[in-house]
Amino acid sequence: MARIQTKNVDMVNGPLTGKIIRFAIPVALSGMLQLLYNAADVIVVGKFAGATSLAAVGSTGSLVNLLVNLFMGVSVGCNVLVARYYGARREQSVSEAVHCAVAASVIIGLLASAVGLIFSTPLLRLMGSPEDVLPKASLYLRIYFCGAPFNIAYNFGAAVLRAVGDTKRPLYILTAAGAVNVILNLVTVILLKMDVAGVAVATVASQLISCFLVMRCLTLRDDCCRLYWKQIRIYGDKLKEMIRIGLPAGIQGCLFSLSNVVIQSSVNSFGSIVMAGNSAASNIEGFVWTAMNAVYQACITFVSQNLGAGKLDRIKKVLVNCLLIVTAVGVALGGTAYLFRHTLLGIYASDSEGLREQIIQVGAIRMFYVCQMYLFCGWMDVTCGGMRGLGRSWLPTSVSLMGACVFRVIWINTVFRAAPKLENIYISYPISWLATFAVHLLCFVLCYKALKKQMPTTE
């Protein structure tokens, strides 16, 4: 069987801008393909199953993120650790980290599935899901979380590949899995009339395929990241470090999702039409966020490798380059999405129930306040990624907790309660992003200066 020839991005030598872009583009496209899983679900049910099914599937997004992000954080620790060892040329440590990551993904995936199956319906009730939406939303989530082990195992495998600069193969894998997802959506919903259960089954099938392909990719590599099934085991020191770095990232993602659950609960109070419009706009915005998040992933990995190589002066250059790139991405994609908002929102809304224009109007309100301001979210994420690349774990989590999550909860319980309008929900996003970015940037500068005093640099 032929081995995969490695062609990784060299992150510790030469110019940075082109390499960051080269790294980020496949990551962005991979993330967009993952978003297409849910977008395909939402579009198909919106067109062929009606507004109630659209609201049911769309309203589960924040809850899915809440539970999955909690367990996915360790994959960030995997990325940082493998990248650091790879930059330092510690091949044995890279190999141990890879095998430990696969073992950890199996355990974490099963735990995520169990938690999701047990708590998804009670959490939907706590979120105030309307009675006409709850049964379908609950069914969708129960099936979705059956595929959580495959989803998490894929993301751990992709984290290993990204850590050494291989971002193209996860894109190829998700292209194949995404095609299966779209085809199965059409078959299960249109032909088999399975409604929300059909799109959930399609998503699980695509996650299984992506999991299989990424593991096969690792077993065929010709470098220190090659996976040997008999060597999969937990290495205590590696797992401890992954958890130390990754758990705070998972908690941060969970807290962000929790604040979004609070916001979703407030949106739910306006009824299923507003829920449907909010879901459509959120899906569109997700593509903008995913493109910017690829720059965040690049920042983590480039900073980690250069830290391992002892090239501290390049770390500052990495952050500056990433901030410039994410600014361009946020302005271009966020502005374009808002400019064509009515056309894009119309893709998600069916006119079979005479509700299309209402759904579009609601979605346009969200996009005015959120989509145009996504630039600030990109700044916040990149500076947070720089901190994580330096190996800092709890500091960015603490900043994000106060600057975004606590702020949003307080906002909903004060400003929104005083004037319960949709506009007063959505404006909390850009305000919290900008404030959190400012604190993250200050923390990065202080930590970088402290690190530079402790370590000799290599150029």
Distance CA 85, CA 94 (A): 6
Which segment of 14-28, 344-358, 444-458 scores lowest on mean pLDDT?
A: 344-358
Half-sphere exposure of residue 6: CA atoms within 13 angstroms, side-chain side = 19
Confidence (pLDDT) at 7: 62
| Lowest model confidence (mean pLDDT) among 4-13, 209-218, 358-367, 439-448 | 4-13
Q: Which of 54, 133, 130 is nearest to 345 (CA)?
A: 54
- Name the residue among 99, 74, 75, 250 with its Cα closest to residue 158: 75
Q: Which two tokens stand for residue 363?
A: 């979605």
> Bridge partners of 4?
221
pLDDT in tens, 28-40: 888 787 777 666 7
pLDDT at 456: 57
Dist. CA 269–CA 25, nearest whole Å: 38
pLDDT at site 39 = 67
Query: By percentage, how much of the chain surpasses pLDDT 70?
Result: 94
SS3 for 221? strand
Taking Cα atoms as reference points, which of 154, 163, 129 lies closest to residue 55? 129
Q: Convert 393-405 to b/e letters by CB count within 10 Å (16 or more is b).
A: bebbbebbbebbb
Checking if the pLDDT of 46 tops 80, the result is: no
Query: Which stretch of DSSP H or E encloses residue 352?
Result: none
* Percentage of residues of the chain with pLDDT beyond 90: 36
Whether 338 shows a pLDDT value over 50: the answer reads: yes
Tens of pLDDT, residue by residue over 212-241, are 999 999 999 988 999 999 999 999 999 999
Q: Is the pLDDT of residue 459 over 50?
A: no
Q: Which pLDDT belongs to residue 351? A: 60
Q: What is the pLDDT of residue 252?
A: 80
| pLDDT bracket for residue 350 (50, 70, 90) | low
Over the stretch 170-183, which tens digit does the pLDDT of each residue have?
Answer: 999 988 988 898 89
Q: Whole-angstrom Cα distance, residue 453 to residue 165? A: 29
Q: Does residue 348 surpass a pLDDT of 70?
A: yes
| Cα separations in angstroms, 346 against 272, 351, 359, 364, 438 | 17, 9, 8, 11, 36
DSSP for residue 309: T
Nearest to 157 by CA among 78, 251, 69: 78
Question: What pLDDT shows up at residue 299?
Answer: 94
pLDDT reading at 4 higher than 60: no
| Candidate from 30-34, 106-110, 411-415, 435-439 with smallest mean pLDDT | 30-34
Amino acid at 248: P
Looking at residues 293-321, what average pLDDT do you find? 92
Write down the pLDDT at residue 90: 92
Tokens for 247, please give them: 């758990």
- 447 HSE (CA, 13 A, CB side): 22
**Confidence at 306, pLDDT banded by 50, 70, 90:** very high
Output 380 or 39, whichever has higher pLDDT: 380
Residues 355-371 have a mean pLDDT of 85
Cα radius of gyration rounded to whole Å, the chain:
21
Mean pLDDT of the chain: 86
Ordered by start, the domain boundaries in the chain are 17-454
Per-residue 3-state assignment (H helix, E strand, C coil) for 398-441: HHHHHHHHHHHHHHHHHHHHHCCCHHHHHCHHHHHHHHHHHHHH
More confident residue, 147 or 355: 147
**Spacing of C-alpha 428 from chain mean position:** 20
Q: For residue 221, list its beta bridge partners.
A: 4
> Confidence band (pLDDT; 50, 70, 90) for 55?
confident
Least confident of 77-81, 339-343, 350-354, 447-451: 350-354
Query: Which of 5, 13, 4 is closest to 306 using CA atoms?
Result: 13
pTM here is 0.80
- Let me know how long the chain is: 459
Asked whether the predicted pLDDT for residue 272 surpasses 70, the reply is: yes
**Two tokens, residue 111:** 């735990």
Residue that the structure tokens 């105030």 belong to: 128
| Distance in angstroms (rounded) separating the CA atoms of residues 64 and 106 | 19
| Residue 204 near residue 37 (C-beta atoms within 8 A) | no
- Among 1, 55, 18, residue whose Cα is nearest residue 267: 55
> Which residues have a Cβ under 8 Å from the Cβ of 346 and sit 6 or more positions away?
356, 360
* Model pLDDT for residues 73-130, shown as the tens digit of each residue: 778 889 999 999 998 899 999 999 999 999 999 999 999 899 888 988 888 888 777 8
For the segment 386-408, what is each residue's pLDDT rounded down to a tens digit?
999 988 888 888 898 888 778 88
Distances (CA, A) of 9 to 24, 92, 218, 339: 11, 20, 17, 35
Question: 391: left (phi > 0), else alpha (psi -120 to 50), else beta?
Answer: left
Look at residue 1 in the predicted model and tell me its pLDDT. Answer: 44
Report pLDDT for 57.
Answer: 79
Alpha-carbon distance of 371 to 335, in angstroms, equals: 8
The tens digit of pLDDT for each residue in 179-196 reads: 898 899 889 988 888 888
pLDDT for residue 81: 92
